[in-house]
Amino acid sequence: MRDVAFGQYYPSNSFVHKCDPRAKILFLIVYIVAVFLCKNFYALGACAALFILIACVSNVPFSSLLRSVKAVLFLLLFMAVLNLFLYDGQTVLWSWKFITITKEAIYYTIFLAVRLFLLVLGSSLLTLTTTPVSLADGIESLLSPLKLIRFPVHELALIMSIALRFIPILTEETGRIMNAQKARGADFETGGLIKRVKAIIPTLIPLLISAFRRADELGDAMDARCYSGSKVRTKYKKLTFTWRDLLALLFGVALLTGVILLRVYTQALI
């Protein structure tokens, strides 16, 4: 659980950390759209190159970014195996009974794995370089036009901020519960997958009770401070766009344009 990087903030004074959270959220949306529009490894290579450049500028260790992949490693392997055996192709490399592996299946499996890898890394970089408060403020500002139709924008941003804050808290709480059960003879490290899952199940009940207790204490604290939602609330830090944010959005637009051009060009060749 300590290896979960999503929701954790890595403090630094880099170019990426100083960018406006709204610009980073918009850039992430453009980045995700560009990754999904990729149809070949050339386009994915352009997305990967831009991500590596931003990761180097952000001063976030690559080890922290790679830890975020562990959370989806099982999904990544499951998807790879599923596509490897079920994807239809023409060039058969190996066949046994009803199982057939083709050259096209291997290509498509690697392509989807790299795509998912880039999506997870991009989302983790946003949370590693943006505090939960700034992220909530950015989301609230971007969704502010929805206030015209009485959509609870502030409450939605607050819920997301609290959820991001609770991720590292619950991670530490899980570690304490598991250590306490280890001291009482519980074994989480030996045996097969099923045995390990059964050993972890008893930790869920105290973890759930702890989460509800923390949520109840947080609600009482907000009531004691007369919290009343978005009514007559001011902000200590006001969000402002700078040249950094414009440069980030230009990079995002350039990436999306390049991916679309590669998509059109490769289709024209076919």
Higher pLDDT, 253 or 108: 253
| Residue whose C-alpha is closest to residue 157's, from 143, 178, 177, 145 | 143
Angle made by CA atoms 163, 165, 167, in degrees to the nearest 5 = 75
Query: Please, which pLDDT band fits residue 269 given cuts at 50, 70 and 90?
Result: very low
The pLDDT score that the predictor gives to residue 1 is: 46
CA 260 to chain centre: 24
Pair (157, 253) in one structural domain: no
19 shares its domain with 35: yes
Q: Is the pTM of this model over 0.85?
A: no
265 C-beta neighbours (distance < 10 Å), count:
11
**Highest mean pLDDT range out of 39-43, 49-53, 79-83?**
49-53
Position 233 scores a pLDDT of 67
52 three-class SS: helix
Domain presence at residue 79? yes
Residues 146 and 168 grouped into a single domain: no
Shared-domain flag, residues 196 and 212: yes
Compute the distance between CA of residue 239 and CA of residue 157 in angstroms, rounded to an integer.
15
208 has a pLDDT exceeding 80 = yes
Q: Decide if 19 is inside a domain.
A: yes
Distance CA 125, CA 10 (A): 9
Q: 251 and 189: one domain?
A: no
Phi, psi of 268 (to 5 degrees): -70, -35
pLDDT tens for 108-134 read: 888 888 888 888 888 888 888 988 788
Question: Are 85 and 2 within one domain?
Answer: yes
Q: Which two tokens stand for residue 248?
A: 């980030």
Q: Is residue 31 part of a domain?
A: yes
Alpha carbon distance 218, 166 (integer Å): 11
**Within this chain, do residues 208 and 261 fall inside the same structural domain, yes or no?**
no
> Do 189 and 63 fall into the same domain?
no
Instruction: Give yes or no: residues 12 and 105 share one domain.
Output: yes
Q: Which residue has the higher pLDDT, 126 or 227?
A: 126
| 100 domain residue, yes or no | yes
Has residue 234 been placed in a domain? no
Q: What is the pLDDT of residue 30?
A: 93
DSSP 68: G
Residue 137 lies in a domain: yes
Least confident range from 29-33, 66-70, 86-90, 164-168: namely 86-90
Q: What is the pLDDT of residue 65?
A: 81
Residues 49 and 27 reside in one and the same domain: yes
What are the angstrom distances between the C-alpha of 246 and each of 23, 25, 56? 8, 13, 19
| Burial tier of 233 (Cβ tally within 10 Å: 0-12, 13-18, 19+) | exposed
212 located within any domain: yes
Mean of pLDDT values over 21-43: 90
- In this structure, the answer to whether residues 48 and 106 fall within a common structural domain is yes
Residues 95, 206 within the same domain: no
Q: What confidence score (pLDDT) does residue 246 get?
A: 92
pLDDT surpasses 90 at 192: no
Q: Is 32 a residue whose pLDDT tops 90?
A: yes
3 state DSSP class of 212: helix
Q: Is residue 25 part of a domain?
A: yes
* Continuous H helices in the chain: 15-18, 21-37, 41-58, 62-67, 73-86, 103-129, 132-142, 153-183, 193-224, 243-269
pLDDT digits (tens, 9 = 90+) for 83-104: 777 767 677 676 777 677 777 7
Q: What is the mean pLDDT of residues 51-76?
A: 82
What's the domain range around 32? 1-151+239-270
> Alpha-carbon distance 23 to 221, whole Å?
32
Say which residue the tokens 């970089």 belong to.
125
**pLDDT at residue 167 greater than cutoff 80:** no
Q: What average pLDDT does the structure give for the chain?
A: 81
Q: What is the mean pLDDT of residues 235-251?
A: 85
58, 171 in Cβ contact below 8 A? no
Q: At 96, phi and psi to the nearest 5?
A: -150, 115
| pLDDT of 61 | 85
DSSP 154-208: HHHHHHHHHHHHHHHHHHHHHHHHHHHHHHTT--SSSS-HHHHHHHHHHHHHHHH
The per-residue pLDDT for 270 is 42
Tally the domains of the chain. Answer: 2
**Mean pLDDT throughout 164-172?**
78
> Contact at 8 Å (CB) between 95 and 101?
yes
